[in-house]
Structures are given as structure tokens and as C-alpha cells.
A and B are shown apart, each in its own frame.
Chain A
């Protein structure tokens, strides 16, 4: 069955304060979505990420170099992701729609390479 990456995107300044009711609501929604994925057999893996400012980029070359911060110098950064299994694009898009609703933000759907 084809696999897809669902990634969650938000502003790079974004930091969740889990004590707020909004964050609590989202946590509950995402939890319910995870349960749905698992009971439908679509779940492969999923996780939330620490803020992009916690990232380090490592580059290969004659010597390996390291830089502080995320690779992409954009305002939007990935905040979490799922890997799912779905029969086809339309089913995957249906999951993506539900994911976007659950985390109240944009979700990118991208197919994984076969094999």
C-alpha cells in the first residue's frame, strides 16, 4: 500500500504553551486523529517536533561542518509529521484534511518513493 508523509507547518516563531486551553484542545484533537489513524490501520509513524530553533545542520565536504539553526531559512517550519498508508491519493487527501482540521493549520501531503 502506498505511503505518504503528512507534515504540519507553522510560523518559525511558534512555540506551544501547553497550559493554554487552545493548546489543550489541539492536543485532544490530534490525539483523537492519531487514534483514528491507528484503528483504520493507516498509521505508520507520527511525532511532534521541538521548535526549529533547536535544529542543527550538518554538511558534508572535505571536513564536516555544523551550523546552528534549521536548514531552510524560511518563515515556515515543519512542526510535526505522520507517515501513513493509504490506498490512493484521494484517501490520503482525506486523511490530510482531517489532520489539518485536528492541528488547525496547513498540512502538506507528499508521497513516499515506492519500494
Chain B
């Protein structure tokens, strides 16, 4: 029963909250009411059994609880506002057996979840706030869970959420799916927030555990919801494919001692074939639409990696071509560094170094992957002294202890002159190296 409850919570909480925000017109009220309804469910369902439509039960119960609360507060505060909000003639008590049949009582609109995604990822909010709000309202994560996942104090997350909700309220943010003219930009913000959650889970920026199972899975769940709601958006499909293909490598990313295993050194038989197959199918489906975008291209890169039975069998020229295409969408240093690494695999370390050296070194000075990639290519080109210096730069910029240990070992190999044995590829949004 406890497992069932947890599964129902994960599946339904975002949907219920989304509908309650529309019905109540207030995020905090909706949040509290849904929490209260799940608490009631946890007490009642072990005795009464799980109702046939648990989400409908939660939504209706939460709504009635919120109405009760507003009624109580209305007697103390402002009866007028509550009456305006609630249309009292619709009210029903929640402690009745016929509640289970009331699934259609509340107008549960799939669009509610979409509205909530666009609200949480409103571009007027910063990325940190978008991510926290998405995880809280759509994922139902509690403040301490979000704080642990991002290794920041609980008070920071709590304050971030309060500020974000307050900003949306003070600015009269509408609860609606953006108009067609704004949709591409707004959708991209939503996709970026989900990708950020996935990346944080896939390779935490700090903390001793490299893989945060919860955030990656939560991002994939959100990606699936989005694809269900917007099946005609190829970039949404592309992001889901990218996450699945990257997550498929999770079982091979950590050695038994907890150290990080690079893509080239991973035991590919540990990769999750079911996830790869699903990711491949999605990549093919969205590429057929011929509306390429950055997430689809990154998914295609991950698919090329997944296709290779061994690291040596990787079709690097294909990957270089995909990075060239990605660069036309995102002409930034991150893409350029990844492209240079792919060039090194396709044409040798000197070609890769030439590609890196063509970039603006000043702008990349604080970008750890630039130094890590440069160090590896220098080591493979036999320039040991330069390689060690570049490893020092990379290590100085690394906060993740697992990655740091990895770089320190590579630096040691470069010092001993045993470098250049292993490969150093990268793919997609992941920080996997």
C-alpha cells in the first residue's frame, strides 16, 4: 500500500496541483490543499481501499478542503474575496462515499498540466527558480528533497519558491498555454528547464554521489508528460530521446569503487537496451518530421554513440557533422568544445587541438570542459608538460569530487607518460567524459 501510494503520488500530484491552481486561482492554496488531500488518502485508503480514479478523488478532496479553509478564513477576513473565488453553489462535502463516483465532478483538463509547465518555466523567472518551481509543483517534491538534490540549504530553496510564486502573482501571470507566436520560445524555456533537471541528476555539480537517480528519473517523467501533451512538437520528442539515450548509459557510468567511467571505457553490455531502443525510435520519428532543432540533434548524437558496439566503432565523422549542424542553432563555446573533441576522434588529436585553439581562449577560461578536453588532447599528442598544466586548470575548476578524482588520475597518467591510452568523448547535454 505504501508503494502504491508513493506511485500514485508521483503520477497524480502534478496533474492534481495543475487543476487546483486553475480552479482556485492561487498556487499556495492549491499546493496546500493537494498536500492535505494526499495526507487524508494515506489515512483512509489503507482501510477503504484505493478508489478507482485516485487522481479524481485527490482533486475533488483537495478542492473541497480548500473551500472549507477559505470559508473558515472568510469569516475572519474577507468574505467577499472568497465568495468571488469559489462559486459556493458548486461546493460538495468531501467525507462522503459517493466521492469515488465524482471523478468527472471536477473538470480535469489535460491542458492544466501544460499551463502549469509554462507557468513554472516562465521566462520572467530565472532558471534556478524555474527548476525549483517545476520540481515542487509538477513533481511534488518537498523543499528538503529539492535542497538535497541541488546540495543547497533548504532555506535557499524555500526562499526561491516563495519569491518565484510571489513574482508570478504580483505580475498577474496568466494561467494559459502561450499564444502560437510565443510558443516556440516559451517551449524552448520549458525544455531547457527539464534538461537542466536531467543534467543535474545525471551528473551532480557537487556532492559525493555522481548519479542522482531521482532528478534524472523525474526529468524523464516530465519529458514523457510533455510529449503526451504536445506530441507534435519534435523538440519535445528530441529532448525525451536525448534523456533516454543518456540515461541508458547510467548503469555503466560508475565503477564498483564509485569512480567515473568515461564513455569510451564503459562496458557497453551494461547499457540499458530497452531505453536505447525507445530513444532510437523517438529520434527516427522526430527526424522524419524534418524540423531539426538543438534537442533533436543532441539526441541524434547520443544515438550515434549508442549505435556503436565498441568505442572504436563510433562513427565520429557523423558526430562531427551533427555538431556542425548543432552549432548553426547554438553558436556557443560549449558546442564548439564538444565539436573539437569529436574532430579529434575523427581526425586525430592534433586536428582536435587545432579546432580548440581556433576558439576564443579568454571566453573559455572558466569553462572546465575546455581545459579537460584540451588536457586530454595534449596528452594524446604527447605534449606532456602542457597536458599537466591544462589538467591543473581543469581540476581547479571542478567542484564534483568524482570528476575531480577522475581528472587527478588522468593528470597522474600524463605525468608518468602513460596518457593517450583512453578516449575522451562526450555527448549531448551530459557532462559524461
CB neighbours (8 Å) of A88 from chain B are 172-174
Give Cα distance in the complex from A89 to B167, angstroms. Answer: 10
Give B181's nearest chain A residue, CB to CB. A94
Interface assignment of B178: CB less than 8 Å from any CB of chain A = yes
Interface assignment of B422: CB less than 8 Å from any CB of chain A = no
Q: Taking each of A87, A88, A89, which has the highest tally of chain B beta carbons within 10 Å of its own beta carbon?
A: A89
Interface assignment of A111: CB less than 8 Å from any CB of chain B = yes
Give Cα distance in the complex from A2 to B171, angstroms. Answer: 8
CB neighbours (8 Å) of B122 from chain A are 89
Interface assignment of A90: CB less than 8 Å from any CB of chain B = yes
Cβ distance B378 to chain A, nearest Cβ, rounded Å: 41
CB neighbours (8 Å) of B179 from chain A are 90
Cβ distance B110 to chain A, nearest Cβ, rounded Å: 21
Give Cα distance in the complex from A2 to B172, angstroms. Answer: 7
Cβ distance B427 to chain A, nearest Cβ, rounded Å: 35
Cβ of A90 and Cβ of B178 under 8 Å apart?
yes
Cβ of B124 and Cβ of A93 under 8 Å apart?
yes
Give A1's nearest chain B residue, CB to CB. B172
CB neighbours (8 Å) of B173 from chain A are 88-90
Give Cα distance in the complex from A109 to B123, angstroms. Answer: 13
CB neighbours (8 Å) of B168 from chain A are 89
Query: 1/0 per position for B93-132, CB-CB distance to A under 8 A?
Result: 0000000000000000000000000000010100000000
CB neighbours (8 Å) of B170 from chain A are 111
Interface assignment of B3: CB less than 8 Å from any CB of chain A = no
Give A3's nearest chain B residue, CB to CB. B172
Query: 1/0 per position for A97-115, CB-CB distance to B under 8 A?
Result: 0000000000001010000
Give B186's nearest chain A residue, CB to CB. A90
Number of chain A interface residues as a range: 10 to 19
Query: 1/0 per position for A1-27, CB-CB distance to B under 8 A?
Result: 010100000000000000000000000
Give A4's nearest chain B residue, CB to CB. B171
Interface assignment of A83: CB less than 8 Å from any CB of chain B = no
Query: 1/0 per position for B205-227, CB-CB distance to A under 8 A?
Result: 00000000000000000000000
Cβ distance B67 to chain A, nearest Cβ, rounded Å: 24
Cβ distance A98 to chain B, nearest Cβ, rounded Å: 13
Interface assignment of B90: CB less than 8 Å from any CB of chain A = no
Give Cα distance in the complex from A109 to B171, angstroms. Answer: 9
CB neighbours (8 Å) of A4 from chain B are 171
Interface assignment of B362: CB less than 8 Å from any CB of chain A = no
B residues 162-217 touching A (CB-CB < 8 Å): 168, 170-174, 178-179, 182
Interface assignment of A92: CB less than 8 Å from any CB of chain B = yes
Give B182's nearest chain A residue, CB to CB. A90
CB neighbours (8 Å) of A90 from chain B are 173-174, 178-179, 182
Give Cα distance in the complex from A33 to B115, angstroms. Answer: 31
CB neighbours (8 Å) of A2 from chain B are 172
CB neighbours (8 Å) of A89 from chain B are 122, 124, 168, 171-174
Cβ of B171 and Cβ of A92 under 8 Å apart?
yes
Cβ of A111 and Cβ of B124 under 8 Å apart?
no
Cβ distance A108 to chain B, nearest Cβ, rounded Å: 12
Cβ distance B241 to chain A, nearest Cβ, rounded Å: 30
Q: Taking each of A4, A87, A111, which has the highest tally of chain B beta carbons within 10 Å of its own beta carbon?
A: A111
Cβ of B171 and Cβ of A87 under 8 Å apart?
no
A residues 61-110 touching B (CB-CB < 8 Å): 87-90, 92-93, 109
Cβ of B174 and Cβ of A87 under 8 Å apart?
yes
Cβ distance B166 to chain A, nearest Cβ, rounded Å: 11
Cβ distance B314 to chain A, nearest Cβ, rounded Å: 44
Give Cα distance in the complex from A98 to B88, angstroms. Answer: 42
> Given A90-B182, A93-B124, do A111 and B171 touch, yes or no (CB 8 Å)?
yes
Cβ distance B98 to chain A, nearest Cβ, rounded Å: 38
Would you list the 5 A-B pairs with minimal beta carbon distance, nearest first? A88-B174, A89-B173, A89-B171, A2-B172, A111-B171
Q: A residues within 8 Å of B by Cβ?
A: 2, 4, 87-90, 92-93, 109, 111
17 cross-chain CB contacts under 8 A: A2-B172, A4-B171, A87-B174, A88-B172, A88-B173, A89-B122, A89-B168, A89-B172, A89-B173, A89-B174, A90-B174, A90-B179, A90-B182, A93-B124, A109-B171, A111-B170, A111-B171
Given contacts A88-B172, A88-B173, A90-B174, 20 further A-B contacts (CB under 8 A): A4-B171, A87-B172, A87-B174, A88-B174, A89-B122, A89-B124, A89-B168, A89-B171, A89-B172, A89-B173, A89-B174, A90-B173, A90-B178, A90-B179, A90-B182, A92-B171, A92-B172, A111-B170, A111-B171, A111-B172
